[in-house]
Structure 1
Amino acid sequence: MALFVIGYVGVFFGRLIQAAVSRQRETLADASSVQFTRNPDGIGGALFKIGLRGSYLDTTGHASDMNHMCFGESARMKFSSLLASHPPIEQRINAIQPGLWRV
């Protein structure tokens, strides 16, 4: 029984680290897209549209497996802020184009 508890704790902290690395990579990807295209309006507008409409897939257990292929969170989770693989869409937009999300 103790091994199961240790295993579950290990899985939780592993996913926590994976989510933190993924959020950092998304932030760097946004910055790189602005750097290479020199057009913050393009990525800012796309993220704004995603934020308005949402990008959630089905709420089954397998939607979180597709997070890395989506522009935003694909599933709503219980610990959404801790285990999110993407930064909040508002934060991403404000980093690229300050003031766009307040519309």
Structure 2
Amino acid sequence: MEDSAMSEVVTEAVKVMNEKDTSGFDGTAKFDVEDEGCFMVDSSGAREGDEAADVTLKADADTFKSILDGDLDPTSAFMSGKLAIEGDMGKAMQLAQVLS
């Protein structure tokens, strides 16, 4: 497995996320897509990466896709156990507003 190559799932998620207005999010978030890789989101948008963040969201590719497509509410995903959140819950809630 190539270390530098990000999956198509992560590349597509970054593209979709960059179509959203993240300017209201004043932290950093890491999305850890199970078996696919990671991407970062902050007020300037999304990019592929795996760095320290205020909040880390972990889920499988299908869950993230549903959230990014607007088919699944991030809060519902968390409550049902499909989405794990580590770190600053306040930033997670702020990010949920950006995603919805």
Which of the two has higher C-alpha Rg?
1
TM-score norm. by structure 1 comes to 0.25
Relative to its length, the structure with more helix (as a share) is: 1
Structure that is richer in strand per residue: 2
